[in-house]
Amino acid sequence: MIKIAPSIMCADFLNLGKDIKDLQDCGSYLFHIDVMDGNFVPNFSLNQDVVRTIKTIAKIPIEVHMMVENPEKYVESFAEAGASYIGFHLEASKSPIRTLKRIKELGLKAGIAINPATSEATIKYLLEYLDYIVVMTVEPGFAGQKFIPSVLQKIRVIKNMIKDANRQIEIIVDGNIDVINGKKCVKAGADILVGGTSSVFKKGQTIEKSFNAFIQTLENELNTSWNNISSKILDKSISF
């Protein structure tokens, strides 16, 4: 099953309650909340009050993606606001293991996010503390950027690292996830796709139309790909 995490930063804040309901009705897996402090990234966005408000009507988990300096300072406040998942950028943390352990002590899912230029090797020794990993497929901080193709190999390597460690860790991909890029990410090993303006919140379309078209097209594309691969394997086995 393809899991979609709508990026609430892209929602219509004049009609946020309706958007939340529509996203849930469409089958969203969780809500992805981007928190930016104007320091780690140049933009500001969303905060504990937004999480608290969404929590009053949310029937699915809320994942907080902290793009902030000193993320350890904000773990308790986002937990209190209603987050179920809290992740932060490895590049911004001075004590990632301590912060991950604190998130888990609060009974939440703990995650690490890494930028496109950050090596996957940096998270090798964090795997035992992780429930999920956010792989950025664009530079963090702005919507509407181009997908960076080199991250696909990073997803593959991380997936193998998780298997080798015998851990149950979800891989979330975030940034310009349309049908083409989403298909590539799922085939590389991604578990959850963050849906933004390239998929779930398309201009001039309702959420229901955008969401359903994205899922249906993506599933059709993936089924075709897997069937083609299976056919080639089958043909090769017969030839022997």
Span 7-43, pLDDT tens digits: 999 999 999 999 999 999 999 999 999 999 999 998 8
Q: How far apart are CA 55 and CA 9, in angstroms?
A: 15
Which residues have C-beta within 8 Å of that of residue 192, sequence separation ≥ 6?
Answer: 3, 4, 5, 29, 30, 132, 170, 171, 172, 173
Give the pTM. Answer: 0.91
Is 31 in contact with 8 (CB distance < 8 Å)?
Answer: yes
Question: For 160, phi and psi rounded to 5 degrees?
Answer: -70, -35
* 173 SS3 class: strand
pLDDT band of residue 114 (cuts 50, 70, 90) is very high
Homologous superfamily (CATH) for 3-239? Aldolase class I (3.20.20.70)
By the 10 Å C-beta count (0-12 exposed, 13-18 middle, 19+ buried), 78 is classed as: buried
- Domain extents in the chain: 3-239
- Residue-wise pLDDT for 116-157, tens only, equals 999 999 999 999 999 999 999 998 876 667 899 999 999 999
Which residues are known catalytic residues? 34, 174
Nearest residue to 214 via CA among 184, 180, 179, 182 = 179
Report residue 14 as tokens.
Answer: 């004049």
